[in-house]
Amino acid sequence: MPYSSSMIDLHSHSSRSDGALPPAQLLAHAAAVGLRALALTDHDTTAGLEEAADAARRHRLQFVPGIEFSAAWRSQSVHVLGLWIDPDAPALRAGVATQLDRRHRRIRAICAHLTREGLPGDRLLSMVEARTPLPTRAHLADALVEAGCVRDARDAFRVHLGRGRAAAVAADWPALAEIVGWIVAAGGVASLAHPTRYSLSATARNRLLTDFVAAGGRALEIGCGGNALHHLDACAALALRHGLEATVGSDFHGARMPWNPLGRLAKLPDGLVPAWRSRGIGGDEDG
Ligand code: AMP
Ligand code: MN
Ligand code: MN
Ligand code: MN
């Protein structure tokens, strides 16, 4: 797979959501691997942005304030990156507060299911809540491993937490259009994350993109992390068809997902417009 040496990574996670590194360490790591620009896009929170921006200044790295929102499109959960957001914009702040609330309710519901499965749901819930103010299924997977309920995090998803499993809880994320609205109100660029990771037919995927554009979506993430080359072409075709700009990112989480190292980025296929061009970053996305 052709990798870009542009060193602009617009999708990463810190320990403020389910990443391994605290924001300042994430930026130090970004500098060490030679990145020029990094976006911190934690799941449904902006809590790490200030610390990350400070560290970016110390490391002379261009920093893009971001977020990765969980949204609903029809019955599908989708992820929308908000890039160049103002975290203090009232609509965004209100949105983030409701997401946090949803996440706490959801993790409690999942743990109740685990209890019904005969697992120590209450203890698992306490473990998660002691560890993070922003509970994700990734934290719960870690707790299941630590409590000796499963061998590893992958097993936790495969056996308990994944789609269709006994403890799977249909998320009640806000509609895609509403989430895009928060991002736009915060002056950000909405980019649909890893568009080939959703289990949708080609027709449904195109409808999703049509709705995304109608809601104010501006960009599409092209080749995320471990995505194979054919995904790159599929993403590029979708972006061109729907008139979307391109973003690239690794979806770095740290050791949890060693297949997504920081700065491993797809080389943009010809004809795509990088969303960062007009934002004063780079100038030569391939060089
Ligand atoms: P949530 O946003 O609460 O649904 O949590 C999902 C998070 O769990 C994702 O962002 C991934 O970081 C992680 N995750 C999802 N599926 C798996 C899997 N099969 N194995 C390990 N981690 C996963
Ligand atoms: Mn994650
Ligand atoms: Mn995602
Ligand atoms: Mn991500």
Q: Distance between CA atoms of 120 and 226, rounded to whole angstroms? A: 34
The answer to whether the CB of 40 falls within 8 A of the CB of 23 is yes
What mean pLDDT do residues 9-27 have?
Answer: 97
* CA 257 and chain centroid, separation: 13
Structural domain includes residue 278:
no
Pair of tokens at residue 214: 């109608």
Cα-based distances in Å from 224 to 148, 221, 232, 276: 32, 7, 8, 16
Q: Which atom of ligand 1 is nearest to the CA of 70?
A: 2
Any bridge partners for residue 184, and if so which? none
Asked if pLDDT for residue 22 goes beyond 50, the answer is yes
In a 13 Å sphere around the CA of 175, the CA atoms on its Cβ side amount to: 8
Structural domain includes residue 24:
no
Considering its fold, how many domains does the chain have in total?
Answer: 1
**Nearest residue (CA) to ligand 1, atom 16:** 157
Query: Residue 283: its pLDDT value, please?
Result: 52
**Nearest residue (CA) to ligand 1, atom 15:** 138
Ligand nearest to the CA of 11: 4
Residue 82 CA to ligand 4 center (angstroms) comes to: 12
Residue 250 CA to ligand 4 center (angstroms) comes to: 8
Q: Distance between CA atoms of 172 and 37, rounded to whole angstroms? A: 33
Which CATH number characterizes residue 142's domain?
A: 1.10.150
Residue 156's domain comprises 101-161
Asked if pLDDT for residue 214 goes beyond 50, the answer is yes
Q: Which residues surround ligand 2, an ion (CB under 5 A)?
A: 18
Pair of tokens at residue 119: 């697992």
Query: Residue 6: its pLDDT value, please?
Result: 65
Structural domain includes residue 251:
no
pLDDT band, very low/low/confident/very high, at 20 (cuts 50, 70, 90): very high
Structural domain includes residue 107:
yes
Ligand nearest to the CA of 194: 3
Query: Residue 263: its pLDDT value, please?
Result: 84
Q: Distance between CA atoms of 46 and 1, rounded to whole angstroms? A: 32
Ligand 1 pocket residues where CB is under 6 Å? 18, 43, 70, 136-138, 141, 153-154, 157, 253
Residues 163-202: tens digit of each pLDDT: 899 899 988 999 999 999 999 999 999 999 999 899 999 9
**Nearest residue (CA) to ligand 1, atom 8:** 138
Structural domain includes residue 121:
yes
Residues 258-268: tens digit of each pLDDT: 888 898 787 88
pLDDT band, very low/low/confident/very high, at 228 (cuts 50, 70, 90): low
**Nearest residue (CA) to ligand 1, atom 14:** 138
Asked if pLDDT for residue 282 goes beyond 80, the answer is no
Ligand 1 pocket test, candidate residues 79, 136, 260, most atoms within 8 A of CB: 136
Residues 130-168: tens digit of each pLDDT: 999 999 999 999 999 999 999 999 999 999 999 899 899
Query: Residue 257: its pLDDT value, please?
Result: 85
Query: Residue 287: its pLDDT value, please?
Result: 37
Q: Which residues of 114-141 are buried (b: 16+ CB within 10 A; e: fewer)?
A: bbeeebbbeebbebbbeebebbbbbbbb
Residues 73-122: tens digit of each pLDDT: 999 999 999 999 999 999 999 999 999 999 999 999 999 999 999 999 99
Q: Distance between CA atoms of 180 and 164, rounded to whole angstroms? A: 27
**Nearest residue (CA) to ligand 1, atom 21:** 154
Structural domain includes residue 155:
yes
Structural domain includes residue 129:
yes
Q: Distance between CA atoms of 243 and 187, rounded to whole angstroms? A: 20
**Nearest residue (CA) to ligand 1, atom 20:** 154
Percent of the chain with pLDDT over 70: 93
Asked if pLDDT for residue 2 goes beyond 70, the answer is no
What mean pLDDT do residues 205-227 have?
Answer: 90
Query: Residue 153: its pLDDT value, please?
Result: 94
Q: Which atom of ligand 1 is nearest to the CA of 135?
A: 3
Q: Which atom of ligand 1 is nearest to the CA of 106?
A: 3
Structural domain includes residue 263:
no
Q: Distance between CA atoms of 100 and 258, rounded to whole angstroms? A: 27
Whole-number average pLDDT of the chain:
93
The answer to whether the CB of 144 falls within 8 A of the CB of 124 is yes
Query: What's the one-letter identity of residue 270?
Result: D
